[in-house]
Amino acid sequence: MLNLVDIDAVLEHIDVNKLLDRIDVDKLLDRIDIDQLLGRVDIDALVGRVDVNAMVSKVDVEELVERTEIGALIADSTSGVAQRVLDSLRAQAVGLDQVSNAIVGRLLRHDPSTTPAGPPRFVR
């Protein structure tokens, strides 16, 4: 019997929106047990599919530190003058290291892509 009916033709005549308007969504949701539904979801597998590194890389940490209370917390914990002097001294030395490395690298034609940045345990 069903073979004689053209289902597609019948569906074409149905106004789906009108049909949906007749559904009481709130009542439908009330009948759904969210806990039971969540119990069927493998959260670990779901979280495993999330690329946390990619998400974190999109966060502008520097902007966050500058604009939020996190900055104040960091400043409170490391606001010593000695720390400032130390950071400044080390940054200057590292800057000079980079200038030296750049000059030598250019003179000796070091290929940056084949020059290791550090020991394999620290830099992959």
Partner 1 sequence: MRELEPEPSRLGHFAGPATRAAAYFVDMAISLGVFALVVGVTLFLLNLTLQTDLSQSSAPGWLWTTLLLLWEWLYFGGSWAASGKTAGMGLLGVRVVARDGAPLDPWRGILRAPYLLASFFTFGLGFVGIVIGREHRALQDVLAGSVVVYDWDARTARLRFLARRPRDAPAQETRVTEPRRPA
What is the C-alpha to C-alpha distance for residues 52 and 46, in angstroms, rounded to an integer? 12
The tokens 């439908």 sit on which residue? 28
How many Å is the maximal CA-CA distance in the chain? 89
CB of 56 to partner 1, least distance (A): 11
Kindly list the residues in this chain that would bind partner 1 in the complex (CB under 8 A): 57-58, 60-63, 65-67, 70-75, 78-79, 83-84, 86-87, 89-91, 93-98, 100-101, 104, 108, 110, 112-113, 115-124
What single DSSP character describes residue 4? Answer: G
- Token readout for 72 is 């104040």
15 versus 111: smaller Cβ distance to partner 1: 111
CB of 28 to partner 1, least distance (A): 41
15 versus 76: smaller Cβ distance to partner 1: 76
20 versus 82: smaller Cβ distance to partner 1: 82
Other C-beta atoms closer than 10 Å to the C-beta of 71 total 13
